[in-house]
Structure 1
């Protein structure tokens, strides 16, 4: 087990380097002047621009810029954005909100998605199965900003069940609606994935053998079939956590959440490459660690899977 974890951690290094370099190159290749607007309506003085570009290594070749950046990252320094604020300090204040939002979305998609998928799987071909399939397809087909704006209007503005926007404190109650919106598409995918795998496993020989030996159908589903059916679901959920962290930009904009998504959007708008790359670097790390955790959970769901 420990050797497997060490090997996976070592494998993360080239993935982290490759992904961050591609992101670094793409962000700093974007057109635009990062000093635009810093000096009001007038253009900045040439001396200020020269000093600014020197401080942020903007005149160095791209590989040199990246090498200097990664040396700082290895020392725990994500750099200083173009407004003179450390990126790590910004993320410390914003990441808890986005992590809470993504965590609640994961809980929603796990509970609702797995429950709906199991319900559809054990009642294959019946009304519940058709209802789950049609409703999930409907949710998948609608863009998340449409779902968010619609629920915000009806549940927030008209019926006043949930707050329309989220305060800087980002309480649990305030994040309920945004978390559901963020995880809505994933709920549909989890439900369909659970249903498909459960139906396939219910036709397996080991299930028929267990029932023939006297095991009740409910116990056979709960003890054997469901555990095997959840392996692809756990894979999806683990990979989806990193996606939710990065994909929270739209949801955070709709509900005015002061999280990583809003910070990334504003940084892109201001051509602040240091802030964008620093944020995405942390997202890549979280994504890699989440996938490692998923691989370790395989052994819990299926004892036949070992990590020797």
Structure 2
């Protein structure tokens, strides 16, 4: 187990290097001038422009800029924005909000999706099964910004059940409740369908029928054998989806005015601020890799036949 973990951690290094390189190149290739709007409507004085470009290595070729940035990044220095603000401080303030939002969405996704999938998988073809299939299909078909807008209007503005937006200061669990439901709504539909399909297939398997014929109760056979095997692809999906939730929170955070990393990345891309974008995405990639490592380790708990030795 220890050797497997060390090997996976070593594999993360080239992935991080490759991801930062690709993001840096894409940001560098964006059209626009970082000096645009720095001096109002007038062009910046030549002395200021020269000092600005020298400070942020804009006179160097893109590959030299990346090498300098990568060297600082390896030392934990995420650089500064074009406004002179530390990127690390910005990430420190914003990432906890987005992580809290993503974890809450993942909890809704896991609890509601798995419960719905189990109920429909056991009673496949029944009334509840048809209701869940139709409702999840509707959710999958609607864009997330439409779901967010409708939920914000009815549950926030009209009925006043949840806050309309996140107020200034630290975002509370109550303020993030509705955005988390909106963010995880699409994934809830996928988890429910995935659980239902795998559970229904496993319930027809020979090992489940054999367990029941040997005297094991249906509840224990379904829960101990069928459900555990059915959850392996669900855990895989949720592990992948956690990274997608963090990266895909841009729309949700914009709708509910959440001071998270999604808004930060969006504004940084518009400002062509490479240090901010690369720093934020690097943390996203790192979180994604760690979560996938945890998911791989969970396989052994769900299925003892899977070994990492």
TM-score normalised by the chain length of structure 2 = 0.98
Residues 151-179 of structure 1 show CA distances to partners (whole Å, capped at 9, x for unaligned) of: 00000000000000012321111100000
Residues 261-295 of structure 1 show CA distances to partners (whole Å, capped at 9, x for unaligned) of: 11111111212111111100111111111111100
| Correspondence 1:108 to 2:122 | no
Aligned position for 1:179: 180
- Hey, which bits of structure 1, 4+ residues long, moved more than 6 A? none
Aligned position for 1:305: 306
Aligned position for 1:66: 66
User: Counterpart of 2:163 in 1: which secondary structure?
Assistant: coil
Q: Distance in 1 between matches of 2:140 and 2:37?
A: 40
Deviation at 1:41, TM superposition (A): 2.0
Alignment of 1:1-308 (within 5 A): 1-167=1-167, 168-308=169-309
Q: Distance in 2 between matches of 1:59 and 1:140?
A: 47
- Which segments of 5 or more consecutive residues in structure 2 lack a partner in the other structure? none
Q: Distance in 2 between matches of 1:231 and 1:46?
A: 61
Residues 118-170 of structure 1 show CA distances to partners (whole Å, capped at 9, x for unaligned) of: 01100101111111111111101100000000000000000000000012321
Q: Distance in 2 between matches of 1:232 and 1:49?
A: 54
User: Counterpart of 2:308 in 1: which secondary structure?
Assistant: coil
CA RMSD of aligned residues (A): 0.8
Q: Distance in 2 between matches of 1:302 and 1:8?
A: 20
Q: Distance in 1 between matches of 2:203 and 2:20?
A: 43
Q: Distance in 1 between matches of 2:274 and 2:74?
A: 18
Q: Distance in 2 between matches of 1:44 and 1:292?
A: 49
Compare 178-187 and 44-53 and name the one that shifted more. 44-53
Q: Distance in 2 between matches of 1:60 and 1:303?
A: 54
- Which segments of 5 or more consecutive residues in structure 1 lack a partner in the other structure? none
The number of residues matched between the two structures is 308
Q: Distance in 2 between matches of 1:279 and 1:54?
A: 23
